[in-house]
Structure 1
Amino acid sequence: MRARGGHRIKAKLTALAAALTLTACGQAPAPEETAPAAAPQAGFPVTIENCGRQLTFDRPPAKVVTGYHPSLETLLALGLGDRIAGRTNFSESAFLPGQQEQYDKIPEISDTIMLPQKEIMLSQGADFVLDNAMASFDAAGGYATVEELNAAGTPVYILGGWCSPEEVLEFTIDDTFDDLRNLGKIFGVSDRAEALVGELQGRLDDVKKRVEGRTPVKVLATDGGKGPVNAYGGSGITHQMITLAGGVNVLADVKGDYTEVSVEKISASQPEALLVSDYATLRGEDMPTSPAKAAEAFAIARNSPAAKDHRYLAVPVAAQHPGYRNILAVTDLARFLHPDAFTP
């Protein structure tokens, strides 16, 4: 993103018009004045690497478009709601405290969780796009590509390093901290970003202290299905959250993040607790409720401790994507898995 020179051209035209007026009055033309260059903002330019690309910013973005909701949540957490000019629709999970009011004030440019189609997206005139997946930049789906947006002066940043299927599996919580620091630099609010990182790291440290020395709880994380089952293997965000919260993923030996797992594997997994991806307001034949998905898993693993105790927690699906909410969710998971660790 580079500063444009429109104000300089306007200043030159104004000076030229003044000179012509003076000439018409029989006076000598005044010398042309050149508008002084805008003073560079402290800390800029900034260059950030993302998805193997170098993004350079000469000034903080002022007209931002956000994709899937965790990207919006992250900017709001950094106090940057006034920079967001357009957002996608969010109806999958409950809002974080105090954020729905801000969400409602931002123009909706897509009625799905995806960015709008190419023509609409390019017409936004945004100077920054924040998302947490590459799906909204697929030309085959009719979307503006990262390259097309960059050529239009709209650089794209992908949260969590989710730049390819392989990199989705390599995600660590540290990637979220890196994102917060990078966004702090991009928007010129590094102090604010460091304060948020410190707060979130403090939450993780508190959880670690509370669950340390306790026997890890065997956890099955599922998104439903009677066979095969949509579940979470030994890589990615959900696996990390389970581990940090004092659990052990019973599907840790399954390659992948969100993947299909056989009924036989689920039946033999013997979980002590169940995590169920929750889509809150989305319901229907294709999107069963969290209790319904839990019942499916309990029926398959019917002899497991989790089924006998009917022990499950609905996890907002937004927390299972890159963004600062996944760090907040670790505390909720730890309270569920080790309630005694959080009693006074």
Structure 2
Amino acid sequence: MRRHRRAVTTALAAVATAVLLAGCGGGEPAAGDHAGHEGMDMGGTSAGGAGHPAAPACPPVPQLAAPPERVVTMDGGAAAILTELGQRERIVGTAAPDFFTAFTGAERTELDSIPVLDTGQGNTESIVAAKPDLVVGISSYSFGGFDGTPSVERLQQAGAASLVACDDAPSPVRNIDDTYTFVQQTAAVFGAQAQGTQLVDRIKAQVAAATPAPGTAPVRVLALSSAPQTGQPLMTQGGSGLANGIITLAGGQNIAADQDSDFASLSTEQVAALDPQAIVVITGFSPQSDAELTAAIRSSPALASTTAVRENRLVTVPQSITLSPSVLNGQAVATIAKGIHGTG
């Protein structure tokens, strides 16, 4: 059973952008240089894949004598899950509020009311100063993996337990069961099992409504977060990440799913031979706007011969709801399904 968690916070987004533009170079996550972008998946087993470091070990689910009263979330994704479970009043602060950008309407208004402890990945001083008895995050990188973030041990010293979404699904990931597991684990910690079941059922219903009918041929998909660079391999999503599960549920076949890592790299020759029929543009960390990023990918000479570009079948979806557990994972499935099949 794999016990790691894909990286999904702002700091690593900036690092990942530089890595992508540098052609997938390695190195450890850097200190918080925030570009104001959403989360970026950098998880892995012994390595995250394509030169990326592995996430820190994922701690076990805490066993608390009573529901926590003061909760800090290390990212807006975790805050949204707690809010959906009816635990908003327990949240005393959050880091990485950029995850809220995928939400709209009353949901966004409620999330925006949460005090922000750190616009970046969550520094130890601000987290500990909030005096939480529980710290929740959807990435184990947030617990000592980023420079300045508190480790599980440091939080224990401060009297706080840690609850982290762990990546347990076998590769290749074909579903979003990790999301359902984390929601139910979180609900149990707060004694909100009924709300957890309701949230899981809602996401499952969204997925079921979006999934193509049985017998529908899967569409070959290439997932990109940046435009290909001349003379460099393409960075894409491998088979072990949640994104692969979302693409699969949407009726897609990730052309890099056979690579047992969250990240993968493909040469331009491999991409041409595999001929993706659709491109999923994963947005949220590029300095370009969504439209600019999509246009850059569409106009890339490395992709000109693919069926996806020739038929103009590109669909954009935010990283924050595609690469990590989110109450909007069902929306990600629907968006991709509609974009590659015209359904959902």
TM-score range, shorter chain: 0.7 to 0.9
* TM-score (norm: length of structure 2): 0.74
State the secondary structure of the residue aligned to 1:142. Answer: coil
The answer to whether the Cα contact below 8 Å between 2:222 and 2:279 also exists between their aligned partners in 1 is yes
1:263 Cα offset (Å): 2.5
TM-score after normalising by structure 1: 0.74
The alpha carbon displacement at 1:57 in A equals 1.2
CA distance change for structure 1 residues 54 and 134 in 2, over 3 Å: closer, same or farther?
Answer: closer
- Cα deviation for residue 171 of structure 1 reads 8.8
Judging changes above 3 Å, is the alpha-carbon distance between structure 1 residues 102 and 167 closer, same or farther for their aligned structure 2 residues? farther
Aligned to 2:6: none
* Structure 1 pair 289–321 and aligned structure 2 pair: CA distance change class (3 A): farther
CA distance in 2, matches of 1:115, 1:162: 21
Distance 1:278 1:182 in 2: 29
Rate the CA distance shift 1:264–1:92 in 2: closer, same or farther, 3 A. Answer: farther
Alignment partner for residue 151 of structure 1, among 157, 182, 189? 157
Aligned-pair CA distance for 1:168: 9.2
Q: Which residue type is aligned with residue 76 of structure 1?
A: T
For residue 170 of structure 1, report the CA deviation from its aligned partner. Answer: 6.4
Query: 1:283 — aligned with what?
Result: 287
Deviation (angstroms), 1:149: 0.5
Native 8 Å contact 2:76 2:98 kept in 1:
no
CA RMSD of the aligned region, Å? 2.8
The answer for the alignment partner of 2:262 in structure 1 is: 257
**Residues 177-236 of structure 1, C-alpha deviations (whole Å, 9 max, x = no match):** 11111111111211111111122222223334x432111111111112312222112221
Which amino acid is the alignment partner of residue 333 of structure 1? I
Call closer, same or farther: CA 1:202–1:104 in 2, change over 3 Å. closer
Q: Indicate the residue corresponding to 2:141 in structure 1.
A: 135
1:125 maps to amino acid = K
Aligned partner (choices 173, 177, 180) of residue 176 of structure 2: 173
Unaligned runs of 5+ in 2: 1-56
Contact 2:171/2:239, CA 8 A, preserved across alignment: no
Q: Does 1:333 align with 2:333?
A: no
For residues 126 and 59 of structure 2, the distance between their equivalents in structure 1, rounded to whole angstroms, comes to 26
- Picking from 105, 123, 132, the partner of 2:129 is 123
Contact 1:127/1:154 (CA < 8 Å) preserved in 2?
A: yes
> Is the helix fraction higher in 1 or 2?
1
Q: Secondary structure at the match of 1:55?
A: coil
Give the Cα–Cα distance (whole angstroms) in 2 for the partners of residues 105 and 123 of structure 1: 19
Contact 1:276 1:293 in 2 (8 A): no
The answer to whether structure 1 residue 55 and structure 2 residue 62 are counterparts is yes
Give 2:235's match in structure 1, choosing from 230, 243, 261.
230
CA distance in 2 between counterparts of 1:212 and 1:132 reads 32
Contact 1:134/1:162 (<8 A) preserved: no
CA drift at 1:333:
1.5
Deviation >4 Å, runs of 4+? 166-172
Number of equivalenced pairs: 283
Determine what percentage of the aligned residue pairs are the same residue.
Answer: 25
Give the structure with higher Rg (CA): 1
Rounded Cα–Cα distance in structure 2 between residues aligned with 1:119 and 1:326: 32
Q: Residues 104-123 of structure 1: matches in 2 within 5 Å?
A: 104-112=112-120, 114-116=121-123, 118-123=124-129
Query: 2:223 aligned with 1:221, yes or no?
Result: yes
Q: Which amino acid aligns with 1:221?
A: A
Equivalent of residue 304 in structure 2, options 302, 305, 319: 302
SS state at 2:259 partner? coil
Gapped runs of 5+ residues in structure 1?
1-49
CA contact (8 A) 2:173 2:244 kept: no
SS in 2 for 1:313: strand
CA contact (8 A) 1:277 1:314 kept: yes
Of 200, 206, 209 in structure 2, the residue corresponding to residue 206 of structure 1 is 209
> Match for residue 198 of structure 2?
195
8 Å contact 1:278–1:289 — kept in the other structure? no
Separation in 2, partners of 1:92, 1:182: 21
Higher relative contact order (CA 8 A, sep 6+): 2
**CA deviation vs aligned residue, 1:97-133 (integer Å, no higher than 9, x gap):** 3332122211111121x112x2222111011111122
> 2:17 is matched with which residue?
none
Determine helix, strand or coil for the equivalent of 2:97: coil
The one-character-per-residue Cα deviations of 1:47-86 (angstroms, maximum 9, x if unpaired) are: xxx9353522122122111112221221122222221111
Q: 1:92 to 1:180 in 2, by over 3 A?
A: closer
Distance 1:93 1:228 in 2: 32
